[in-house]
Amino acid sequence: MEISLTEENYMKAIFSLQLNADEVVSNSRLAEHFNTRAASATDMLQRLADKKLVHYKKYQGVTLTTKGHKLAVHIVRRHRLWEVFLYEKLQFKWDEVHDLAEQLEHIQSEELTNRLDKFLNHPKCDPHGDPIPDKKGQIRSDLAKPLTHIIQKGYYRITRVTDHSKSFLNYLTEQNICIGDVVKLEEINAYDASCKLKTTGGQIVFLSQKAASHILAEFKK
Amino acid sequence: MEISLTEENYMKAIFSLQLNADEVVSNSRLAEHFNTRAASATDMLQRLADKKLVHYKKYQGVTLTTKGHKLAVHIVRRHRLWEVFLYEKLQFKWDEVHDLAEQLEHIQSEELTNRLDKFLNHPKCDPHGDPIPDKKGQIRSDLAKPLTHIIQKGYYRITRVTDHSKSFLNYLTEQNICIGDVVKLEEINAYDASCKLKTTGGQIVFLSQKAASHILAEFKK
DNA sequence: AAAAATAATTAGACTAGTCTAAATTATGAG
DNA sequence: CTCATAATTTAGACTAGTCTAATTATTTTT
């Protein structure tokens, strides 16, 4: 079946807007995500429902069907593999890879995807720490938690960021915070959920609730 | 200015259908090339003329403007660089790279193209021996001639093929003929322009006029 | 040079995807 | 529970790109 570029983008958006699988995604969130009108989103959701990619009932929002979930995961796999390629092989910065990968991900070839995966040595994560689904669509479970959810001070390894905007990534780069770094969480402010940490380089950095919520880390044994 | 995917494809087609620059390309050749209707080609040529990419007069066919030529060469550059990537890095066969490159070439990013070029070590030719335009759009002149134009027997280096169809490329692979090989041209048949040659491996191969006309070679000093 | 054949163009319709504006349904505050 | 508001859907229009059918221009033939 033919899946258009726009349809693929909707599928990916539904997948990434639902925090847990089976969560219903509303029309308005999709419209907002694409900077488009609710009427256009309705149109597309009906189209996707016709193709059995989403469960859709009028006024009730959508969830992915099994088939739709599979498709979305494949698109995500392509996106993240291309990000690794752009980052590791072409030396793009982590804040530059997203837009190009957004275009490369739409080349629908299993063969290309699998060969790229092999060429890159089957990477586990993209430059933002997002896990890359394998050939079968399996996604490695991620144990990392947002800094805002950590209650105990100590050493943590930063493994992932969940905001891919240039401004956020540039901010982290300026603060000398990178994926893989081990940082010391020195203070957790109970009042506003901000925190203070010591980076690999030894600098002290204060993070707002907003920033901290987009940085995922796991306890360093 | 926005150039759509379809427009890019037309520009590339016009460029490659004209054997010498400034040669007029007819509506019908374009329509045939895209397996579409003449009416659609007319439509597109008018659109391209509006964008000053082609010189177009009703019933007279088209040629590229300076601006259009520049654009076409850039698309060709992207296409050929991606072919090298697919062939050298992802180990695709030379008959498999064309269709994927056709999609990859439409990603419009100077930065991506130039980084890819650097990553591949500024290749001079794609897997079919077609020269790759440089950053400025300069194309290295190609001294090679079709086997059908060679009048003197002797040793020649095969540098390029001008038919990229799977069937032709597979045929050459079966006959053990590759880009870069030095072959001995043993007989040139004046009657039907067919020829006989000895390959690198020592086999004797007979080539029809049609096949020989798509194989380019240069004299081996 | 006129008639016949071929090639190119126009006119009008269709699809995917988008929009605005109007109508409908859901929600939540009192 | 009902009314106001917010969210969603429908209706109808628009663009890019495509098509068929009809028309017009060019070229070839006689």
pLDDT at residue A19 greater than cutoff 80? no
Inter-residue contact A44 to A62 (CB < 8 Å): no
Measured at the CA of A189, the angle between CA A184 and CA A193, to 5 degrees, comes to 100
- pLDDT value at residue B113: 97
Q: Using 50, 70 and 90 to split pLDDT, how confident is the model at A20?
A: confident
Whether the per-residue pLDDT at B193 is higher than 80: the answer is: yes
| Chain B nearest C-alpha distance from A115 (Å) | 6
Band of residue A220 on the pLDDT scale cut at 50, 70, 90 = confident
Q: Is the pTM of this model over 0.90?
A: yes
| Single-letter code of the amino acid located at B153 | K
Least confident range from A76-85, B14-23, B52-61: namely: B14-23
Q: What is the pLDDT of residue A176?
A: 94
Q: How many whole angstroms separate alpha carbon B28 and alpha carbon B56?
A: 14
On whether ipTM exceeds 0.85, the answer is: yes
Say how many Å lie between the first and final Cα of chain B, rounded.
Answer: 48
Provide mean pLDDT across the span B189-206: 91
User: Residues whose CB falls within 7 A of nucleic chain D?
Assistant: A 26-28, 31, 38-39, 41-43, 45-46, 56, 58-61; B 4-7, 36-37, 39-40, 43-44, 47, 58-59
- Condensed to tens digits (0 to 9), the pLDDT of residues A173-204 reads 999 999 999 999 999 988 888 999 999 989 99
Residue B144 has pLDDT above 80, yes or no: yes
Tell whether the model's pLDDT for residue B159 goes beyond 90. Answer: yes
- Digit-coded pLDDT (tens) for B164-188: 999 999 999 999 999 999 999 999 9
Q: What pLDDT is recorded for position A66?
A: 94
Q: Output the pLDDT for position B177.
A: 95
Residue B163 and residue B154: Cα distance in Å, rounded?
24
User: Nucleic chain C: which protein residues 37-56 of B have CB below 7 A from it?
Assistant: 38-39, 41-43, 45-46, 56
Condensed to tens digits (0 to 9), the pLDDT of residues B56-101 reads 988 999 999 999 999 999 999 999 999 999 999 999 999 999 999 9
Residue A219 to residues A154, B26, B199: CA-CA distances in angstroms?
8, 68, 64
